Chain A
Amino acid sequence: MGTITEDVLHDAAAGEQYALGVVYRALAPTVQAFLHARGAEDPEGLTNEVFLQVLPRLTTLTGGTAGLRTFVFSVAHARAVDDVRRRGRRPRQAPYDPESDDRVSDSAETEALVGRADHLRAVLDRLNDHQRSVITLRVLADLSVEETARVLGRTPGAVKQLQRRGLLALREILEEGGEST
């Protein structure tokens, strides 16, 4: 995020190609990680959707770089919620993807990365939706309590409460041995 300055943001709002690229490169990985941690089936595809929605609306953005981050993760949060609902309505049907085939052995590095991400995701899955949203927005998206409250449409007090309970739940889960329930 450090690379996104007010000037860059101004240029991005004006449609400057370089500035749009800076915004995307600075935020897209975090958005994808956020969506992965929230349990999205296709984090990369959803990340594209988020930026397709965000970039054209930069002209109406207020609040500077902090406002940008809040806005981006508001959209990402909405996409994650939509994804969960969509999965609840119908079973997933997707073409065969060799990369997601468990029968294919990955490289050691990929295995380590995927393994770590899956471990984190498995632990977070044991939190309830609200706690998971608060923890991921506070830690991954690096939002303040007020910004998180704005994204979730809750009061800062409610966010603090969810955060506290979520951290307590995390400690219990990790002491039990992690994702295994």
Chain B
Amino acid sequence: MIDDLDVDGPEVTRFLAELRALPQDCDPTPSGELTVLLECGPPGPMAPSGVPRRQLAGVSAAVLVAALTGTGWAAAANDLPSPVQDVIADLSGPLPFDVPHSSEQDGPGLHVESHVLPASQPMRSHRSTTSGPSADAVDAHDTAPTGSAASGDADEVPGPAPVEPEVDTDGDIQDEGDNPDGAAQLGGGVSDAGDGNEDGNEDPGDDPAAYPVEGDPPGVGPSGEDPPGVGPPEAGPPGVGPPEAGPPGGGSPGAGPPDAHPQEPAAETGPPTTPPGEGD
């Protein structure tokens, strides 16, 4: 390159030649960090496969989300192996949805509910389809809590009915309390907590839209709060909202005159459900 510099004068030429030879006197010693870099190579900005790290991270995140979602659905459907199901159920306390324990799966007479309940609840239908036989159990459990809700008392809690005929006969709102108990008895494995919740939550749970959340009554605290025996039957509904709200929203959309009283439907449904349940 020095040739095309168009240099004139011997002094300048000599100076540029010396300048060009200057690197010969230089022998830089690599620093420790540079030595490591030279010996080990740079930390690869590219993955071995040539896929940029950013893409890898994206794919990994997508896989992780998919796995978590799948596991979550399976847990909600109680399809996971018992140990895993129990662990997830324990960990899902603070979550806004209910993950049943594996033991809640086997409850006698739980199947009744499916036909009694209106098909309006998407979650329920999903679960039933996914979980097959166990679905009944799940439904029952879920419905029990929510369904036990004021209106649903009778219908959804067909399970309890068989166990405790009194409830049905009562026909009164008392059912709520009864239901939970019944559910507990029926399910055997069903946790009291869940049942208790149902009582208080009934109203909100009745809403088809809010159904998925029913298991864990939104406003209701953890199990401890709503023991079946707590408060009068009416207490539950009022706590959640106006008395009317309970019935109409009530899981018993099928019931024509829902507005009447939560108890009425219970009374009505009670009788029909008991037979199947009692079949045992």
Contacts and interface: CB of A to CB of B under 8 A. Distances in A.
Interface of A: 15-17, 20-21, 24, 28-33, 36-37, 43-45, 47-48, 51-52, 55-56, 58-60, 113, 116-117, 120, 123-124, 135-136, 138-140, 142-144, 163-164, 167, 170-171, 174-175
Given A30-B23, A37-B22, A171-B12, A48 B1 contact: no
B200 to A, nearest CB: 62
Given A37-B22, A44-B28, A167 B38 contact: no
A164 B18 contact: no
Contacts, number: 118
21 contacts: A16-B41, A17-B39, A17-B40, A29-B23, A29-B26, A29-B28, A30-B26, A32-B23, A33-B26, A48-B28, A48-B30, A48-B33, A52-B31, A52-B33, A55-B38, A59-B44, A59-B45, A117-B22, A120-B22, A139-B19, A170-B12
B280 interface: no
Given A48-B28, A48-B34, A52-B37, A15 B42 contact: yes
A139 B41 contact: no
Interface in B181-215: none
B15 A170 contact: yes
B18 to A, nearest CB: 6
Interface in B57-105: none
Contacts of B46: 59
Contacts of A16: 41
Contact of B45 (A52, A56, A113, A171): A56
Contacts of A58: 42
A142 B11 CA distance: 20
Given A30-B23, A123-B15, A139-B20, A55 B42 contact: yes
A177 to B, nearest CB: 10
B256 interface: no
Interface in B1-59: 1-2, 5-9, 11-12, 15-16, 18-20, 22-31, 33-34, 37-46
A24 B2 CA distance: 23
A175 B7 contact: no
Q: Tell me the dominant secondary structure on chain A's binding face.
A: helix
B28 A47 contact: yes
Nearest to A31: B28
Contacts of A56: 37, 42-43, 45
Given A29-B24, A37-B22, A138 B5 contact: yes
B84 to A, nearest CB: 42
A100 B194 CA distance: 81
B6 A33 contact: no
Sorted nearest first, the 6 A-B pairs with minimum C-beta distance are A15-B41, A56-B42, A29-B23, A33-B22, A29-B26, A33-B23
B38 to A, nearest CB: 5
A21 to B, nearest CB: 6
Interface in B131-147: none
A31 B43 CA distance: 23
Contacts of B23: 29-30, 32-33, 140
A36 B26 contact: yes
Contacts of A43: 26, 28
B20 A164 contact: no
A149 B7 CA distance: 20
